[in-house]
Amino acid sequence: MNLKPLGNRVVVEPIEEEDITAGGIVLPETAKEKPQKGNVISVGPGERNEKGDRILMDIKKGDVVLYAKYAGTEIKVSGKKLLILRESDVLAIVE
Amino acid sequence: MNLKPLGNRVVVEPIEEEDITAGGIVLPETAKEKPQKGNVISVGPGERNEKGDRILMDIKKGDVVLYAKYAGTEIKVSGKKLLILRESDVLAIVE
Amino acid sequence: MNLKPLGNRVVVEPIEEEDITAGGIVLPETAKEKPQKGNVISVGPGERNEKGDRILMDIKKGDVVLYAKYAGTEIKVSGKKLLILRESDVLAIVE
Amino acid sequence: MNLKPLGNRVVVEPIEEEDITAGGIVLPETAKEKPQKGNVISVGPGERNEKGDRILMDIKKGDVVLYAKYAGTEIKVSGKKLLILRESDVLAIVE
Amino acid sequence: MNLKPLGNRVVVEPIEEEDITAGGIVLPETAKEKPQKGNVISVGPGERNEKGDRILMDIKKGDVVLYAKYAGTEIKVSGKKLLILRESDVLAIVE
Amino acid sequence: MNLKPLGNRVVVEPIEEEDITAGGIVLPETAKEKPQKGNVISVGPGERNEKGDRILMDIKKGDVVLYAKYAGTEIKVSGKKLLILRESDVLAIVE
Amino acid sequence: MNLKPLGNRVVVEPIEEEDITAGGIVLPETAKEKPQKGNVISVGPGERNEKGDRILMDIKKGDVVLYAKYAGTEIKVSGKKLLILRESDVLAIVE
């Protein structure tokens, strides 16, 4: 299943925290923090302005991005949790 | 009954989850997750901008789309549940 | 009493559900669902934009329209319940 | 006391419902429905747009108008209850 | 102390209701209604639009104006209660 | 420490009410009203409009201004309480 | 890990208050005030306007800035707490 986000949206695959802490303790699902970092796997064509022209996107496929904890909409695609975010909800690109 | 959505709206027929799980258990209605995927069966002519010109639609009839869980307005047409959404509430096209 | 709606408003006469179910049971008022379908009996001249020009209406008198359950303002005119809605609150035209 | 409403406002004198029902019962004040119909007794010059030009008014003095139940601001002028509404809160003109 | 309001603001001196009712009863402070009428004692230069130009004011010093009960900000200047309102919160000029 | 406010912001030093009432009673901190008057000690360069041009400021360093009770953000700079306000939250200049 | 903020965002490293008070008392974490001052370690390229052009940034890398107590989004990068803020949430530059 291939996703083509609309407008200024991007599809992000969250990067889960390590399951094992530095001290070797295995963290249960509920003790892990919600990830705020992810890989951009698909990028929309950009929002249209009032004249119908597209506004360019600053994010590209392959970028690693940071986003706010409860930004975007979670969807499940073939068992994988993905996040669809507006570019305006992406805080920064990690280099 | 044929529906002609107004502005940037689309009419979507939600794709229900399978009633039977992988293990063969029949799911009652209340245990099923609200669908977030649907078939676009009708597309509006696009929103008008300040000058009265239409802004082009990116979605077309026949597209399979993803949308947020509580987006849009549910209507019942000849016993079938349909969803009328604004294009801006559609997250992505599934290809 | 003739109503001339202002701006992008339309006057709609809701189409009530049948009082008798398929099984022949007479439904009391409180068991009926709020209608979401109605006949357009009057159409406004359209909203004015910043320059004072009218933005064209897509709905015309005689259209049958769908709208959200709690959209618009109910008014009683000579004992009949009517609904005054903005065109932007009308979801679709039924053909 | 003469009132000159500002911007796109109009001064309306609500038309009270009859005090006596069809069956001859005198209705106390609290049993009467809040009126939604009134006579326009004064009309503002219209809102200014970004350039400072006035946007024309569609309502004129003498019109009978319908408005939402809790729209506008009630004022008491020499013992009479008047309503000051923005034109955008007026639903329709009664003809 | 002279006040020069900023933007589209005006300084209003509320006109208090009479302390004595028609029947000769002296009203205590808490039984009096909050005034909605006042004398304009100072007028701002007008809001700037996007280009930086001023939008003209419709109210002038000396006008008697009506305003909504809880509009604006109350300030105390040398023991006198004044109200600073935006012109857009003034409902009408009394003539 | 010198503060350079951004956009249309100004830095204000609130003018505290007198600690001693007319009757000679010393007021404790909690009985004093929150000041609404202050000295402007620094002024920003003005907001940028859509084109990137600055919109001129009406307030200048040295002005005494009035503002709403809970406007702006309080900061502590070397033990002194200062207030950073947007020019649009300043009500009037005292002359 | 290098952060490239998007739009008009800046990455700020908060400047923590001293752990030891003037009287020599060591403050526990919970008794310290949330910092409102920080070093700008990275600056975005500026917001795009409707035409797609960038609006210039007033803040530059190395600036010390003041911001409201709960502005922006906290992120943890290699154990360090950073703050990503929009330039419009930065109150002033400290010189």
ipTM of the complex: 0.80
Task: Report how far residue F46's alpha carbon sits from residue B79's, in angstroms, rounded to the nearest whole number.
Answer: 59
The per-residue pLDDT for C21 is 63
Residues spanned by the domain of E35: 9-94
Phi, psi of E29 (to 5 degrees): -50, -45
> What is the spatial order of strands in the sheet that B37-43 belongs to?
A3-5, B90-94, B64-67, B37-43, B9-14, B80-86, B73-77
Q: Which of A44, A45, A75 sits opposite B66 (nearest CB)?
A: A75
* Arithmetic mean of pLDDT over chain C: 86
pLDDT band at G39 (very low <50, low <70, confident <90, very high): very high
Does C73 reside within a domain?
yes
Residue A2 lies in a domain: no
Residue F1 lies in a domain: no
Q: Are 3 or more Cβ–Cβ pairs between A and F shorter than 8 Å?
A: no
Q: Do D52 and E50 touch (CB under 8 A)?
A: no
d(CA A14, CA A37): 6
CB atoms < 10 A from the CB of E81, how many?
Answer: 12
- Which chain D residue shows the shortest CA-CA distance from C48? D55
In a domain, D75, yes or no: yes
DSSP-derived secondary structure letter, B48: B
pLDDT, residue B61, reads 97
Q: Rounded distance, CA D54 to CA D47, Å?
A: 5
Question: Out of B4, B50, B52, whose CB is closest to C93?
Answer: B4
Q: What is the mean pLDDT of residues A55-67?
A: 95
d(CA F89, CA F91) in angstroms, rounded, equals 6
Instruction: Please name the amino acid found at residue D25.
Output: I
Q: Is residue F19 part of a domain?
A: yes
- Count structural domains, chain G: 1
Q: Is residue D56 part of a domain?
A: yes
Residues in chain F: 95
pLDDT digit string, tens, across residues A76-87:
887 889 999 999
Where on the phi/psi map is residue B72: left (φ > 0), alpha (ψ -120 to 50), or beta? left
- The residue of chain F with its CA nearest to that of E2 is F95
Q: Which residue has the higher pLDDT, C17 or G86?
A: G86
Q: What is the mean pLDDT of residues A57-64?
A: 96
Q: Which residues of C touch D91 (CB under 8 A)?
A: 5-6, 9, 73, 75, 84
Burial class (CB in 10 A: 0-12, 13-18, 19+), E51: exposed
Q: Output the pLDDT for position B65.
A: 97
Residue from A51, A91, A95 to probe the interface with G (highest G Cβ count within 10 Å):
A91
Average pLDDT over residues E12-33: 70
CB F36 within 8 A of CB F69: yes
Q: How far apart are CA E68 and CA E89, in angstroms?
A: 7
The CATH number for A34's domain is: 2.30.33.40
Share of chain D above pLDDT 70, in %: 82
pLDDT digit string, tens, across residues B31-82 = 666 778 999 999 999 998 888 889 889 999 999 999 988 899 998 887 889 9
> Do B and A count as touching (3 or more CB pairs closer than 8 A)?
yes
- Other chains touching G, judged by 3 or more CB pairs under 8 Å: A, F
Within-domain flag for A1: no
Which residues are paired to G94 by β-bridges?
A: F3, G64
**Which of B1, B2, B4 best tests the C interface by mutation, with the highest count of C CBs <10 A?**
B4
Of F55, F66, F90, the CB nearest to E52: F55
Count of residues making up chain E: 95
Residue listed under structure tokens 């399979």: B64
The answer to whether position C54 is within a domain reads yes
Backbone angles phi, psi at E93, to 5 degrees: -100, 135
What's the rounded Cα separation, in Å, for the pair C81 and C35?
Answer: 12
Q: Rounded mean pLDDT of chain F?
A: 86
Could you tell me how many residues make up chain B? 95
